[in-house]
Structures are given as C-alpha cells and as structure tokens.
Structure 1
Amino acid sequence: MSEPGRSLFERAAEVYDFKAAVRARAPIAGLPPVQDPQPPVGERGPDASPPPLPNRRGVIDRDALAAAGFALLDDRVTALAEEFRLVKRQLLQAATAPGSIARDRMILVASALPAEGKTFCAVNLALSVAAEKDFEVLLVDADVAKPSILALLGLEDGPGLMDAIADPALDVEGCIIRTDVPHLSVLPAGRPGNDTTELLASDRTRLVLDRIVTRRPNRVLIFDSPPALAASPASELAHHVGRVMLIVRADRTSDVELREAVALLGGCGDIRLLLNATAMASGGRRFGSYYGHEG
C-alpha cells in the first residue's frame, strides 16, 4: 500500500507540491442556544462526570462493513487498519497538544470531487478512533445533500445536525445515535434544504457544535463533508473545525482541482492531505503479514 517506512501522510506532500500557499497550512501526506438539562462541562466543576448519552441506540452492520472493505479493529490486523492507526495518531496528537482548544477535536474529512474516497476514509478513521481507550468519537454525516453514513452502517434515519441547527428547541444530544461499537456514536445529517449553506454559516451552527464538543471533553468529532468543488457547505464547515483532512485520490485528483479545494477550505488554518488509492510498492510495508496475515 505504501513505500517502506513511510505512511500515506508522509507521501502526499511530495506527490502534490503546493508551494507557499499550502505550506502555510502545514499539509502532510497519507490517507439561539439549546436548553441543556445539565450545565456545560466548564460550569460543572473538574470532578463532575459527563452527562449520560441519550437512549437512541443502533447496531452497526459489521458484515456489510467488512464486505465493503472497511477496517474493523475487532477483527484481524490488516494493512488498512494499521495505516489508519498512523493517520489517527497524528490527528489525535494535534488535537490534544499543549495549548489545544475544543475546536481542535473537530476534524473535517473532505475531498475535491465525488468518488475520491472521503466517506470511506471518514468511517475508517472513526472506527480507528473508537478503539482508543481515552477517547470517544462522534461521526457526523455532514453531507446533507447525499448522506450515506447511516445506510452504510445499517442505522435508522432520524433527526440530525441540520434539524438541531434549524430548531433552537431541539437538543442535539437527543439526535445522536449511540452504537454497539464502544466509544462510537453517529449524528445523522438531518433534514435537507436549500438553505443548508446559510444555516451552516450562521451563529447557530457555532453554538450547536460548541455544545457537542464541550459537553464531553474526551469526544472527537469527525465530519463527513460534501466534496468541496461540488457543494458549497464544505467551505462553511471548514470555518468551524480545527483541521481538515483532504482526501487526494492518487489516480484521479488533479493538481488544479486540489489547489481549488484547498482555497475553498481555507476557513480552516490546518489542512492535511491523505493520499488514497495508492498501489502497494514492491517490498513496501505489509502490516498484516507481520501479525500473521496478508493484509
């Protein structure tokens, strides 16, 4: 899948030279308020426990995920699972570095155009973070025009992100689906509409996202974004997150498209590149074989 000793994160910057405009964003390479029943974390005191998650629950269709090629970390070790371990480690280290803030725990997974692997990468990253002992992950389907997360995971649809943004009386926590995969929850996209971009650009979005990320201090948010060059909401979402993981398909994404996507997502000051769909080099890293499997 990659060259010896080098992750996909380490290779993309060499494949795509963004010069000064992108270097400033440190690219790396590889793969009105809701009524809260409890006060925010900062007002409950350092020893208070996080509020319990609501009782909206779902069972992940593991067989469907495995058949589609996703990395299930309760299964055998594969090269794909190990690659996403490397990806998540860099992202988690950045999210929890000294001086980090709540926004740093929000990661937008985007691509320039459709069919470049953003949803595949977002779900694999969420599954990988869910295996952590000190974090929980909330996977947010933010591709409102074409949501696919719930169908992919085998979960029931229902109110979600856009409903909570549009309706101040709706507590976003009640929209979250707690799954049978420990530490993994899912927030549906919610209602589609012609005003999605305008809602995401509103102060209401900031209030809702702040509520989600501060309510549980060990919670990491991963957003599956619409493609940046195909739908305008992606550029608005970038203003709210701590970093963007921009998926670059090795055999498809052009340099021009990539530069345009970076410019549109410039509301986030930390854009990182993940190189997707690369061929395994001869003699390259084979994590699965090390553990007794051919990945």
Structure 2
Amino acid sequence: MSIIEKARAKQQQKNLETSVKEAQYSLEKESIKEPIYASPKHELPLDKIGLAERGYLIDNGTRKSIKDEFRKIKRILLNNAFGKAAKTLHHSNLIMVSSAKPNEGKTFVAINLALSIALEQDKTVLLVDADVLRPSVMRELGIEEQLGMIDYLLGKTEHVSDIIYNTDINKLKLIPAGKLHHLSNELLASEKMATLANELANRYPDRIVIFDCPPLIGVTETLVLANLMGQAVIVVEESKTSIVDIQAATEHLNENLALGLVLNKAIRSHKDLYGYYGYGYGYGTKN
C-alpha cells in the first residue's frame, strides 16, 4: 500500500471514529431527561361569604363574642403546644378534634380553631380532614375535593407536599381526606401514617396541625389517630350529649393526651349563632 493510500485509510478511520463518538454523544444527550417538577398547585379560595353567614370566623373586621370564645380555647392549645407543657406531651402541636357521636359540631369547631389560629402573628396552621369515613371539611369550606391523605397512604402520590394545599388565607393550609377506602383503619395504623404524623409535627416549629377526626363511639379509626396526637378536643353538644356518652368516648383515649371539652351549640344571644363556654382541660383526666 502506497503512502498516499495509507494516509487516506487513516483519515477514513479517523472520520469513522468521530462519527461514532458524535452518534454516542447524541444518544447520551437524548437519554438525559430534564427533571420533572410537579406544577405548583393553585391557591384554593375559600367561600368566605358563605362561611361567615354560617358562623365561621372569617376575619372581616367585626368583633363577636364567638371569636373571643375561640381565642380562649386556642390560647390553651397554643400554650400546651409551645409552652412548658410541650415537654410532657408527644407531638404537642398535633391536635385532634372529635365528638362522642356524629352531628355534635366537631367539624365546625375544628375549622373555627384553624381560622382563629391563622390570625396569630407568629404561627401557622394546617387543617387535616381526618374524618376518612365522612369527610366534610372541604365541602364546608366551599372547595372541591382534591388528592388527600388516604391517596398518599395508598401510594397514589409520592410526596407529602402533593397533598398540602395553600388557601387564600395566608397562614392556613389544608390536607383533604382523599377518596374513601375500605381499609382506612389499616391505612391509619400503618407505619407510613406514623411517619407522616411525625413529619407534620416536626417539620415546621411554628405550626399547629388540627385533625378533624371521626366521632369516637362506634368508630375504630379515631382511637388509631389518637395515638399519634398530643392534644384532644372533644366537642359536647349542650342538652344532647350525656355524661355516659362522654365517658364512653374518652375512656380508651391515650392517658398522656392533654384532653379538653368544648360545649357546643349553647345559644347565648341573638347575635351569635353558637356560644362556647365551660371549656375544661386536663391531662389524662376522664372523670
């Protein structure tokens, strides 16, 4: 082979190697996909007019006695969550709201507590619809159902942030219940739920998390949730809830819970839809 032929063959080999490298680089470049980021969720607007008409604590510049009643209640809860009592409570900033039986106003109290705490200057609040049997928080707020807690526990979404929604009230966030599921008890008793509760309790030092739970009597899910909480608010309807019902509802609760009772639907004046008074609080006191 002549010198010219050798040089030509060498150049052809070099061109072939360059083409192969370029093809490999092109394939590698195509295979490197840009990271997929979930599109940010839109802020959920609350039906503030409808809420105010139904007695909820929308901040419209007026002062009613019901607002002061909830201030008294939330002050105790906040002191327990962030004061000296916090050292004696597990997950002191996780608060369950329940009742002995349905229709005693637990959701009304849970939402109003969240709205009241959202007015705090240095605190935020996360309202969780944990009534996985009859969820109603989103409906009460005038919001369509969204992906929620049960969906997360089922693995339908990977990140906790996917089920936390901002609202048009600056310091209020929501976690919906999610779709109904026949294994709700087992899902709430899972290690994944315990991890979720721990994350919600510890991620933000200024946050209160309120769980609107199912009633206590005749339901097993609430006692499962209670084991993850630091505080419990039991709603008692005036002239309806009996002492026997209250005892039955609270006798199996964790003795380490800070336990309080709220007297609900006590008509006090023509100006207020509801009155709240006779609020008691204690630690493991069920008598």
Q: Same fold (TM over 0.5)?
A: yes
Q: Equivalents in 2 of 1:56, 1:219: separation in Å?
A: 21
Q: Equivalents in 1 of 2:45, 2:153: separation in Å?
A: 26
Q: Equivalents in 2 of 1:269, 1:212: separation in Å?
A: 18
- Give the aligned partner of residue 81 of structure 1: 67
- Aligned length in residues: 229
- Give the aligned partner of residue 189 of structure 1: 177
**Out of 56, 81, 84, which is 1:70 matched to?**
56
Conservation of the 8 A alpha-carbon contact between 1:110 and 1:245? yes
Aligned partner of residue 96 in structure 2, secondary structure: strand
**Out of 274, 286, 289, which is 2:262 matched to?**
274
**Out of 187, 194, 218, which is 1:206 matched to?**
194
Query: Match of 1:90, as an amino acid?
Result: I
The superposition leaves residues 208-237 of structure 1 with CA deviations (integer Å, 9 ceiling, x where unpaired) of 111223222211100101011142111111
Cα shift at 1:56: 4.1
Q: Equivalents in 2 of 1:195, 1:157: separation in Å?
A: 20
Q: TM-score, normalised by structure 2?
A: 0.75
Aligned partner of residue 264 in structure 1, secondary structure: coil
Q: Residues 100 and 168 of structure 1: is their aligned pair in 2 closer, same or farther, counting only changes over 3 Å?
A: farther
Q: Equivalents in 2 of 1:99, 1:113: separation in Å?
A: 29
Cα shift at 1:75: 3.4
Conservation of the 8 A alpha-carbon contact between 2:151 and 2:157? no
Q: Equivalents in 1 of 2:209, 2:232: separation in Å?
A: 12
Query: Match of 1:226, as an amino acid?
Result: P
Q: Equivalents in 2 of 1:212, 1:117: separation in Å?
A: 25
Q: Equivalents in 2 of 1:84, 1:280: separation in Å?
A: 15
Q: Equivalents in 1 of 2:217, 2:241: separation in Å?
A: 11
Conservation of the 8 A alpha-carbon contact between 1:234 and 1:265? no
Q: Equivalents in 2 of 1:147, 1:208: separation in Å?
A: 19
- Give the aligned partner of residue 172 of structure 1: 160
Q: Which has the larger displacement, 150-159 or 236-245?
A: 150-159
- Give the aligned partner of residue 82 of structure 2: 96
Aligned partner of residue 122 in structure 1, secondary structure: helix
CA radius of gyration, larger in: 2
Task: Point out which structure has higher relative CO (alpha carbons under 8 A, 6+ apart).
Answer: 1
The superposition leaves residues 23-44 of structure 1 with CA deviations (integer Å, 9 ceiling, x where unpaired) of xxxxxxxxxxxxxxxxxxxxxx
Q: TM-score, normalised by structure 1?
A: 0.73
Q: Equivalents in 2 of 1:176, 1:194: separation in Å?
A: 23
Gaps of 5+ in 2: 1-39, 270-274, 276-287
Cα shift at 1:73: 2.7
Residue 120 (structure 2) pairs with residue 132 (structure 1): yes
Aligned partner of residue 197 in structure 2, secondary structure: helix
- Give the aligned partner of residue 251 of structure 1: 239
Cα shift at 1:265: 2.7
Cα shift at 1:280: 2.5
Conservation of the 8 A alpha-carbon contact between 1:172 and 1:212? no
Q: Equivalents in 1 of 2:230, 2:185: separation in Å?
A: 19
**Out of 220, 223, 237, which is 1:232 matched to?**
220
Conservation of the 8 A alpha-carbon contact between 2:238 and 2:263? yes
Q: Equivalents in 1 of 2:144, 2:43: separation in Å?
A: 9
What is the RMSD of the two structures over their aligned residues, measured on CA atoms?
1.9
Q: Which has the larger displacement, 55-64 or 79-88?
A: 55-64
Cα shift at 1:268: 5.2
- Give the aligned partner of residue 6 of structure 1: none
Conservation of the 8 A alpha-carbon contact between 1:58 and 1:155? yes
Aligned partner of residue 66 in structure 1, secondary structure: helix
The superposition leaves residues 257-284 of structure 1 with CA deviations (integer Å, 9 ceiling, x where unpaired) of 1101001333652211111122439xxx
Aligned partner of residue 191 in structure 1, secondary structure: coil
Conservation of the 8 A alpha-carbon contact between 2:229 and 2:257? no
